[in-house]
Structure 1
């Protein structure tokens, strides 16, 4: 007979998820009653582009938010109990998926990608058309991060609730290794198109579109994003390489020390979410017929991003389980820093 062991961290995550749901539900009621700040509809800085799946809603949608928040809070509280019932899991995972993958849109990824550039631009005197961090992170986009946070808290609680004793994990090191290769390869199609455009090669687009992007400097920004993605792919290799567990010798101070698992798991997990969300946005636009077939370079590479995000998620979970010793959280066998140095 198996027993349920949610553990203190899982219980804490469930309680925080319940609190998040109650607070967000109260916000929904306030928006419905006229409080400013409703993050969709006319309050969205890009309402005409319909980036969000909730772009057509108005403040009265806040009543639906409140109605959604109540069962979310109840489900989160149910995850704090040491029960063998699987009903809380059947409710928690769809809610978490909705908050993490459906409510957000591609602007979260764009904000993450452009933030480093916006931070260093003043140092080098780059104007960037007057764009600021406030433009990259308006309240409607920050609200998406708030929704992702709620989904992650609920997912963490569900993972802890569903953890069983000594069950073989699907996330094996071999699957993690294959997932890393996929996560590195998939974004290269996007990188190839953007680098080609920056070099004046109309890969997947018309020459007219190429000239338009050259006039306004759009392809330089595209090349930056491509390089950002390629660098992220390079870091993904660390999930299966020795330097992803032990800091390499060329790093001063840190050389030979063990890499704390959260240092890799948190950013990799977050990137897996935002690239999946961005890819789902492009797929939604493709289904809606918003793209031309002869301009495939502008949209087709992004439609593969959910594969990228899914593979990165598998690689991240496999890395986490390998480093922390499996599903039961037992410490992994120690690795000698001296022997592990490259």
Structure 2
């Protein structure tokens, strides 16, 4: 298949811009870089599992406590996409765009990001995610209740057993790492940026 050089040029430019924006900053420890890049992959399996639900017949499925105006399918897509985007922000703790506002952003472009402006939300997120996925998920599974305190339905994937339950746990178990990894990357970011200031 023949591709014109004109069409390859924008792709090359986009790759160069992407690489420049996401290349780790000087002084980032190797372990912090690996942890930051791993975080989106801890979230990806659960998102793919949820998106897979869109292809399953869920007539009569309980949409839980979703508002009536929000279809279950829309909620699943939004939750999966937003979760992955939030997980990807961890890369900013090791990359240039976590230290300097990109130039293309009006008014703020090119300005240094204050250390606390990135570290405080990341630390709070790490605490919340650790509480949600590490503590709360274990407690709810042991207690046999949902986060709201209702009994886990018998048709819930973790309760069905067999391959369904195994696949559910394989996809959701990595989420337990999201909070602790984010916490470690946040500490590395804080220490590195404070020494630079």
In the superposition, the TM-score normalised over structure 1's length comes to 0.39
Asked if residue 304 in structure 1 is aligned to residue 158 in structure 2, the reply is no
> 1:211 is matched with which residue: 47, 59, 76?
59
Asked if residue 284 in structure 1 is aligned to residue 132 in structure 2, the reply is no
Return the alpha-carbon distance in structure 2 between the equivalents of residues 213 and 227 of structure 1: 22
Alignment root-mean-square deviation, CA: 2.5
Verify the 8 A CA contact 1:277 1:306 in the aligned structure 2. Answer: no
Counterpart for residue 268 of structure 1: 122
> In the TM superposition, what are the counterparts of 1:145-294 in structure 2 within 5 Å?
173-198=29-54, 200=55, 202=56, 207=57, 210-213=58-61, 217-279=71-133, 280-288=135-143, 291-292=158-159, 293=161, 294=164
> 1:316 is matched with which residue: 182, 186, 196?
186
Q: Which moved more, 1:220-229 or 1:210-219?
A: 210-219
Length, aligned pairs only: 148
Return the alpha-carbon distance in structure 1 between the equivalents of residues 41 and 111 of structure 2: 29
Deviations 1:160-216 (A, max 9, x none): xxxxxxxxxxxx622211110221210011111122223x2x4xxxx4xx3344987
Return the alpha-carbon distance in structure 2 between the equivalents of residues 239 and 226 of structure 1: 22
CA apart distance, 1:277: 1.3
Q: Secondary structure at the match of 2:105?
A: coil
Unaligned runs of 5+ in 2: 1-27, 145-151, 153-157
Structure having the higher Rg: 1
Deviations 1:123-147 (A, max 9, x none): xxxxxxxxxxxxxxxxxxxxxxxxx
Q: Secondary structure at the match of 1:321?
A: helix
Verify the 8 A CA contact 2:102 2:110 in the aligned structure 1. Answer: yes
Indicate the structure whose relative CO is greater, using CA pairs within 8 Å and at least 6 residues apart. 2
Verify the 8 A CA contact 1:283 1:303 in the aligned structure 2. Answer: no
Deviations 1:84-131 (A, max 9, x none): xxxxxxxxxxxxxxxxxxxxxxxxxxxxxxxxxxxxxxxxxxxxxxxx
Deviations 1:265-301 (A, max 9, x none): 1221111112211112222233446532324566654
Return the alpha-carbon distance in structure 1 between the equivalents of residues 62 and 49 of structure 2: 14
Residues 1:232 and 1:295: Cα distance change in structure 2 (over 3 Å): same
Deviations 1:301-332 (A, max 9, x none): 4443231111011111101111111xxxxxx1
Q: Secondary structure at the match of 1:186?
A: helix
